[in-house]
Structure 1
Amino acid sequence: MITIFINDAMKQVEQGASLTKVLEQYSLENDIQLAAIAVAINNCVAPRATWHTTQCQANDKLELFSVVAGG
């Protein structure tokens, strides 16, 4: 297990877990729709197309943002 932070909250996840796996579990625990969020890892936006190949590392800081349409 490794420690990561999601929106400043500490979370234990399996070493080598993909971002997709971590976000799916987090969304179930927190009633969040993955289709409606954007994610930054260590202050860098993580494109949705890379979530399944991105592995979480110890002490990663994930920030989840609600996607809002507008102009």
Structure 2
Amino acid sequence: MRVFINGQIKEFDKPINIDTAIQELGIEAQVCAVALNESVVKKERWHSTPLQENDRLECLQFMGGG
């Protein structure tokens, strides 16, 4: 299955949900917001939201600084 994540093509051998994709990419969920096909997905729905062929997932990570 092919999914576009932050503009790059990622291939997955099996069905995957948003939560698993975030983990596989090594993104820290506590500082991340996700949009699937231009719609924001609340964190509590990541585990129950499957990704489909050619979906577009955008992961925005927040950083603190000074």
Fold in common (TM above 0.5): yes
Runs of 4+ in structure 1 deviating by more than 6 angstroms, as ranges, are none
Which residue identity is paired with 1:10?
I
Equivalence for 2:41: 46
Q: Percent identity?
A: 28
Q: Residues 13 and 22 of structure 1 are in contact (CA less than 8 Å); yes or no, is this contact kept in structure 2?
A: no
Structure 2 gap ranges (5+) = none
Equivalence for 2:29: 34
Which deviations, in whole Å up to 9, do the C-alpha atoms of 1:18-62 show, x marking residues without a partner?
1111110011xxxx3221000000000010010000000000001
Tell me the TM-score normalized by structure 2.
Answer: 0.85
Q: Name the SS for the 1:11 alignment partner.
A: strand
Q: Name the SS for the 1:21 alignment partner.
A: helix
Q: CA RMSD in A?
A: 1.6
Structure 1 gap ranges (5+) = none
Q: Size of the alignment, in residue pairs?
A: 64
Equivalence for 2:9: 10
Tell me the TM-score normalized by structure 1.
Answer: 0.80
